[in-house]
Every structure is written in structure tokens, then in C-alpha cells.
Structure 1
Amino acid sequence: VVWANSALLGPASERFNETNSTLGERSSPSCVQIRIPQELFLALGIISLVENILVILAIIRNRNLHSPMYYFICCLAVSDMLVSVSNVVETIFMLLNDHGLLDVHPGMLRHLDNVIDVMICSSVVSSLSFLCTIAADRYITIFYALRYHSIMTTQRAVTIIAVVWLASVTSSILFIVYHTDNAVIVCLVTFFCITLVFNAALYLHMFVLAHVHSRRITAFHKGRRQSTSMKGAITLTILLGVFILCWGPFFLHLILILACPASPFCNCFFRNFNLFLILIICNSLIDPLIYAYRSQELRKTLQELVLCSWCFGM
């Protein structure tokens, strides 16, 4: 079954079909297909899940991290966690099927596929949205530093978070319901491109004019604030870069579905869909490491959580 003819995201059905395919059904020798063991999916999914849970707990626990920026980062961790949870559930399902411990019925596979599709679609839409939100938050912090707390209040941050999640879940459900329409793929790709342009424009403006605003803010004895804000902007630039690298092949996959669904080259590209899934999972795994590396306060809280968990386990 070709991925483009199944559900919009279809990871469960795709991986199930790959696992049960025969040599005769595989691509020609000239088409390189990278085989990904199910155990690797499970291992990466569990590590990513644990990491993102620790980030969420650290932000909740440390009152110094109770600010709009870290609320948005917490939501980004939840988005990553959706990918991890869907991957772990899917992989366990596949492993049970491979070992003959689970009888897969078409209806059961379809329901699982739809649930995982919604989770992954919600993850990508919410991740892109929160990356934009964080970029806007950093922009306000740098260029409207003296008015930041009046502009980005906790109430407004909570409202933004609620709107983003509601829009993400609703659009994901609609995308899956109407997955046979190419307009859905066009919407996803367009949203991806718009968010990238939006983030690139904000970051470019921030870094080009940061020096001028640094002088102005320093005059008001807020030099440290500027330094912290720019550090946050650099952190989010790294996050955006990792997101593009990890999700880029997946969106190229969507573009090729529209551009050349019957081309031998494109079909060869489609057959490596599991590799694109691994990259997506790696994004969920790398993001918490970026948080910890770039934020001393968050890193300290994460260390305390890990040590407490280890002592409790002893």
C-alpha cells in the first residue's frame, strides 16, 4: 500500500505494511530503502518521552520558570511528547503483531492509525504555532523590554496557549477526516512555509537591530535584561533550525505527493518514510537537550529532579 493512498500521516499502516511486505513487493534494486528496526523506534520514543516529561515537571516545579516564555516552552515539550507517546504506542502494537501476540484486524488498524494521525498532526501544528509564539515573545522582550510585562501578561499567555491547542486539535481532526483531499496537504505545506517565513523575518530583524536596542536599553540600566533576551532568541533560533532539519524531509514527502505521486523517483523517496519518522522522533529527543544546555535555571532544576528520582529509586 503506497503511503500517499492511505491516511494523511498513516505511520501505523505504513510501518505495518513495510513489516509484512515481501521481497517481490519491494522497490527495484536501484531504489535504496533504509530499514529501521522497530526496537529503535521504541527506544528513541521512550527516551524522548522521559526527557519531555522531565522538562514539563521542571517548569512546573521551579517558580523562577513561571513566565510566559517558559509556559510556551512547556507547551512545545507537550507537543514533542505527543510524538513520543504516539510512537511508543504504535511500536508496541507493531512488535506484538510481529511476534504473533496480537491479531490485527483492518478496523482495529484503521482506528489506531487515525488516533496516531491526529496526535502527530496536532504535534506538528502546535509545534509550529508555539515556535511562532516564542519568536513573537522574544521579539517583544527585546524591542519592547520596558513594556513587556504589560504586553505579555500571564492571562494573555494562557489565552494564547488555549487558542493554539484548540486550533491544533480541531484542524488535525479535520485534516484526518478529509485526508483524501489534496487541499489538506496543501494547507499543511502552506502553514509550514508561512511559519518559517514569519520566524525568519522576526529573527532577522532581532539580530540586525539588536545592537541598536541594546544601547538604548543599557541607558535604562537594563543591559542584563537585553543579554538574557538575546540568549533566549538564540535558543529559539537553534530550536527552529533543528525543527526544519528534522521535519523538512516529512514536508518534502508531502510536496512530492502533490508533485509526482507516480514518479519512480518519488516512489523511491516515499519508501523511506520510516527514516523521516525517526528524524521527527529525534526532534522530540533533541529539543529538551537544547532547553537544558541553553538555560542554567532549567538545567539546575532538571538535575535536581533526576537526582531525586535516583535517590527515591534507591
Structure 2
Amino acid sequence: MSEMDLANGSLYHPSILHWDFSPPSDFMDDNETNSTAGEGNLLGCVQLRIPQELFLALGLISLVENILVILAIIKNRNLHSPMYYFICCLAVSDMLVSVSNVVETVFMLLTDHGLLDVHPGMLRHLDNVIDVMICSSVVSSLSFLCTIAADRYVTIFYALRYHSIMTTQRAVAIIAVVWLASVTSSILFIVYHTDNAVIVCLVTFFCTTLVFNAVLYLHMFLLAHVHSRRITAFNKGRRHSTSMKGAVTLTILLGVFIVCWGPFFLHLILILACPSSPFCNCFFRNFNLFLILIICNSLIDPLIYAYRSQELRKTLKELLLCAWCFGV
């Protein structure tokens, strides 16, 4: 079975990463594939078929949502603070997922319906670009979640020194470093995509960032009550309440990220642990579902921003009202 046959078939949606990240068992010859399918049926494997139109619709919705979040943060000067700069970058990371999904799905739909005849070499270049975008998205998202956690930590435990510690210049420098590291590492991941070390690096980075965030959040919530008394003594109780609200918001964002990206990283782990196991093959067959979850993460994040921030919610309403007025 060729790559294009696999891409156009029902087993997988267009790749979110290189096809080589898929387990070797997915590239067996027809006889082996039929044998594995038979074993899968005996094991009670259920393969969900998700139409490409659903991928396209979710991608477009999440793209519009994240564009609105970015415009709202740019428009409202009250949102010009380090935390919202980092949230803006998270929205850009989510946009990378949305854009890559929309572009690849459109190409696949046009190709499947015979409306577009693209040279295989061009498709491979397009796939490489999309893979870099996806890798950049996951690496930058994890990095900015860690950055926001650190920002909230400083806000809570070093409230009186926060503005001297987290200056706008430092925030911009952090953003530049994160994006540079994300894009560079993603390009290296794609160049060396045939090496299992790439999967190991991605999984290790995912687990490391989760541990880092867990330690910071645990420390914040365990000591927040004690620290709040010190801040209240300086008549800064409202600031502390706002800081804790920001910490709770980022906890929700992290939880959603784990739920949506967790199955994909489990997929990578199983590729290393049991690439030819019938049980693991059942898991691999629902890769489409993992992609839907990833896109849903990009769609849910803006809703969390709007729900948790009254200022952002107000600005989004103004933008939507302006858009409606111009439309009329």
C-alpha cells in the first residue's frame, strides 16, 4: 500500500506528522494488512470513519476564533500585559494547527475529486511545511503554557516585584526565544523524522513540561492561602485574587491540552513500544479521532479565554458587533 493510497483511504486522515511516524504495521503488504484486519476484528476493534468535511469545518471555526482573540488583544490596551502576550502566542500556536489542517484537507478534497493534479514531489514539500507547522504548534504551545505558569507563579509569590521581574522587554525576549526554538527544533524533527529519537524527544518534552507545570501549580495552590494574608497586609488582596484567577484559567488550559493531545502522544509511545501488536494496531486505527481532538483543542482554547476574562469577552463582543455592522 503506497502513501497516497493510505492517505486517500479510510485508515488515516492526512498526516499531522510524517507518515513515517506511523507504525510499520500500517505499511504492510495486502496479505499482511488483511491478516491484521482479521485479528483486529477478533479483538473487537472499532474504527471510526470521520469525513474530511468535518476536519475542514472545525479547522475554519478554530481559525476564526483564534484570529478574533489575537485582534481583541491587539485592540484593547488593557490587555497589553505579559500574560496576555503569552496567551496571544498560544492563539497563534493554535492557528498553526487550524491553518495546516485547512490547507491539507482542501488539497486532499480537491485531489480526491479530481479537481487538482499535483506532482508527488510538490505534495511531499507541502507535507513537510505542514509537519513543521504542527511540530512548531505543539512545541510552542507546551513552552508558552510553561511560560504562563511561571508568570502566574511570579505574580502570586513575588507580587510586589512582579513589574520589575516581568517587564515588557523580557516578555518579548521570552516570546522570541520560544518561537525560535520551536521552529528550529521542528525543522530538525522533520529532517530526521525516520529516527525514533525524534519520537523520544517529543514524548520526553511533553512529559517534562507536564511535570514542570504540575510542580508550579501544586506549589501555587498549596501556599496561596498563606501568601494571600501577606498581600492583604499591603492592601493588594484584589491583585492576589486576579492572579489566582489567572492561575486557575491556565490550569484549565493545561487540562484541556492534556485531554486533547494526550492520545496523540500515547500513539507515539505505542509506536515505540508495540508497533506490530494487534492490540496497539487497534489504537492506531483511530488516528483520525486523535486529530479531531487536536483540532478541538484549538477550538476550545478561545472559548476558555473569553469565558475566564471579562475584559477579553467585552472586546470580542465589540469586534463581532463591528463585523456585523460592516456586513450589513
TM-score by length of 2: 0.88
More displaced, 167-176 or 259-268? 259-268
Given that residues 7 and 180 in structure 1 are in contact (C-alpha distance below 8 angstroms), is that contact kept between their aligned partners in structure 2?
no
Bigger mean CA deviation after superposition, 134-143 or 102-111: 102-111
Q: CA deviation at 1:100?
A: 1.0
8 Å contact 2:40–2:282 — kept in the other structure?
no
Give, in angstroms, the shift of residue 281 of structure 1: 0.3
Offset of residue 32 of structure 1: 1.2
Task: Work out the CA distance in 2 between the residues paired with 1:8 and 1:134.
Answer: 37
Relative to structure 2, which stretch is displaced further, 56-65 or 269-278? 269-278
Deviation of the 1:168 alpha carbon: 0.1
Q: Quote the offset at 1:102 in angstroms.
A: 1.3
Shift in Å at residue 5 of structure 1? 16
Q: Is the 8 A contact 1:135 1:202 kept in 2?
A: yes
Q: Is the 8 A contact 2:13 2:52 kept in 1?
A: no
| 1:106 CA drift (Å) | 2.4
* Distance change (3 Å), C-alpha of 1:29 and 1:190: closer
Q: Report the alpha carbon displacement of residue 105 of structure 1 after superposing the two structures with TM.
A: 3.3
Shift of residue 264, structure 1, vs aligned partner: 1.2
Question: Is the alpha carbon distance of 1:5 and 1:270 closer, same or farther for their aligned partners in structure 2, counting shifts above 3 Å?
Answer: farther
Tell me the CA shift for residue 6 of structure 1.
15
- Structure 1 residues 5 and 150: alpha-carbon distance in aligned structure 2, compared to 1, 3 A threshold: farther
**CA distance in 2 between partners of 1:305 and 1:177 (Å):** 41
Cα distance change, pair 22–39 in 1 and its aligned pair in 2 (3 A): farther
Q: Does 236-245 or 99-108 show the bigger shift? A: 99-108
Q: Label 1:241 to 1:92 Cα distance change in 2 as closer, same or farther (>3 A).
A: same
Provide structure 2 residue ranges, at least 5 long, that are not aligned to the other structure: 1-6, 15-30
How far is 1:27 from its partner?
7.3
Unaligned runs of 5+ in 1: 12-16
* Distance (whole Å) between structure 2 residues aligned to residue 73 and residue 20 of structure 1: 47
Q: 1:60-92, CA deviations, whole angstroms, 9 ceiling, x for partnerless residues?
A: 000000000000000000000000000000110
Residues 8 and 108 of structure 1, relative CA distance in 2, 3 Å threshold = farther
Partner residue in 2 for 1:189? 203
Post-superposition Cα deviations, 1:4-25, rounded to whole Å, max 9, x if no partner, equal: 99999994xxxxx999999999
Check conservation: 1:10, 1:117, Cα contact below 8 A: no
Give the drift of 1:99.
1.1
SS of the counterpart of 1:33? Answer: coil
Q: In 2, are the aligned partners of 1:260 and 1:266 still within 8 Å (CA)?
A: yes
Q: How many residues align?
A: 306
- Contact 1:72–1:161 at 8 Å: present in 2 too? yes
Task: Indicate the residue corresponding to 1:6 in structure 2.
Answer: 9
- Which one of 161, 170, 178 corresponds to residue 175 of structure 2? 161
What is the rounded CA distance, in whole Å, between the counterparts of 2:56 and 2:33 in structure 1? 15
Q: How far is the alpha carbon of 1:109 from its aligned partner?
A: 2.2
Whether contact under 8 Å (1:49, 1:81) holds in the other structure is yes
Alpha-carbon spacing, 1:62–1:200, altered in 2? closer, same or farther (3 Å): same
Q: Distance in 2 between matches of 1:7 and 1:189?
A: 27
Aligned partner of residue 41 in structure 2, secondary structure: coil
Deviates more, 1:268-277 or 1:22-31: 22-31
Summarize the Cα distance change of 1:6–1:207 in structure 2 as closer, same or farther, 3 Å threshold: farther
Distance verdict in 2 for CA 1:202–1:9, change over 3 Å: farther
Separation of aligned partners in 2, 1:8 and 1:182: 22
Is the 2:12–2:288 contact (alpha carbons within 8 Å) kept by the matching residues of 1?
Answer: no
Task: Name the CA shift for 1:20/1:81 in 2 (closer, same or farther; >3 Å).
Answer: farther
Greater CA drift, 264-273 or 155-164: 264-273
SS of residue in 2 equivalent to 1:207: helix
- Tell me which residue corresponds to 2:68: 54
Distance 1:27-1:75 versus aligned 2 partners, 3 A rule: farther
